[in-house]
Amino acid sequence: MSEAGNPAIEFHFDFISPFGFFASLRIDDLAARHGLQADWRSMLVGVSILKVMGMKAIPATPLKGDYVRREAERYCRRHGISLAREFVSPPSNPLVAGRTFHWTRRHHPDKAKDVARALFSAYWLEGRDIAELSLALDIAQACGLDRQALAAAHESGEAADLLRAAVDASLAKGVFGSPYFIVPEAVSINRPCKGTGEPFFGVDKMELMEEWIAARGW
């Protein structure tokens, strides 16, 4: 449940995932069309895909890497998005961004999406390195947060603990990629028996997810 009391679609993403970025540009409008909230939660594909699933990173996977690059470019052309970063370029270390997001989500939940959007934008539209703590602090400050408090949370390990707990929680729900959505049971009343909400993986499942929501599941 969101603060507003409406059921929320969980939106799981990694800042270094282009498809997570693409989804971030649409998920709130999609939720709002159905009177729902979107509950943003960053995760780490470096943990889920590389460690838990034992797979390679997608750009390094033979055949699939080339295909997914073309798919990302096709998506950008269609949606009028100009990325400042190559799909295949080495990613930033996403820990500082994830820690910043989850600290914000815990202490200033009303600012969490602003921070996430600014981090996504800095990384994908401006080509900046979100591994830099100074950038994360600048973004947080620009969003109206207390720069010193956030710096202290990075220094003390509190922000790292919050991210670690969030990643563990996402894995426990089966979240393995970015974006990954979970439609709550309260919406899926025609398919109530699972007890887990209904999962949708991938930006190209957003249309199907919207049909699911409109139909209340099947």
Query: In the set 174, 189, 192, 214, which binds a second copy (CB under 8 A)?
Result: 174
Candidate list 32, 74, 146, 214; residue touching a second copy; CB under 8 A: 74
- Footprint of a second copy on 76-115 (CB under 8 A): 77-78
Q: What share of the chain is helix, strand, coil (3-state, %, to 5)?
A: 55, 10, 35
Rounded least distance, CB 190 to a second copy, Å: 10
- Shortest gap between Cβ of 57 and a second copy (angstroms)? 12
Measured from the CB atom, the residue of 66 and 129 that comes closer to a second copy is: 66
Judged by CB under 8 A, the residue of 115, 140, 175, 183 near a second copy is 175
Nearer to a second copy, 24 or 48 (CB): 48
The distance of closest approach from Cβ of residue 171 to a second copy in the complex, given in angstroms and rounded to an integer, is: 7
Smallest gap from residue 64 Cβ to a second copy (A): 5
The SS3 of residue 143 is: coil
Residues in 181-200 that interact with a second copy by CB under 8 A: 198-199
* Six-digit token string for 65: 């890497």
Unique residue bearing structure tokens 């401006």: 126
Report the nearest approach of a second copy to the CB of residue 78 (Å). 5
119 closest CA partner among 138, 105, 139? 139
Q: Which is nearer to a second copy, 143 or 213 (CB)?
A: 213
CA distances from 189 to 29, 183, 192, 194, 195 (A): 22, 11, 5, 11, 11
54 touching a second copy, by CB under 8 A: yes
Taking CB under 8 A as the binding criterion, the range among 15-23, 35-43, 118-126, 203-211 that sits at the site for a second copy is 203-211
Residues 6+ apart with CB under 8 A from 45: 14, 16, 17, 57, 177, 178
- Per CB under 8 A, contacts with a second copy among 114-153 are none
* Rg, the chain, Cα only: 17
| Cα-based distances in Å from 167 to 100, 106, 123, 183, 198 | 14, 14, 21, 19, 19
Terminal Cα-to-Cα distance of the chain (whole angstroms)? 22
Rounded distance, CA 65 to CA 63, Å? Answer: 6
| Residue numbers at the binding site for a second copy (CB under 8 A) | 48, 52-56, 61-64, 66-67, 70-71, 74, 77-78, 171, 174-177, 198-199, 201-202, 204-205, 207-208, 218
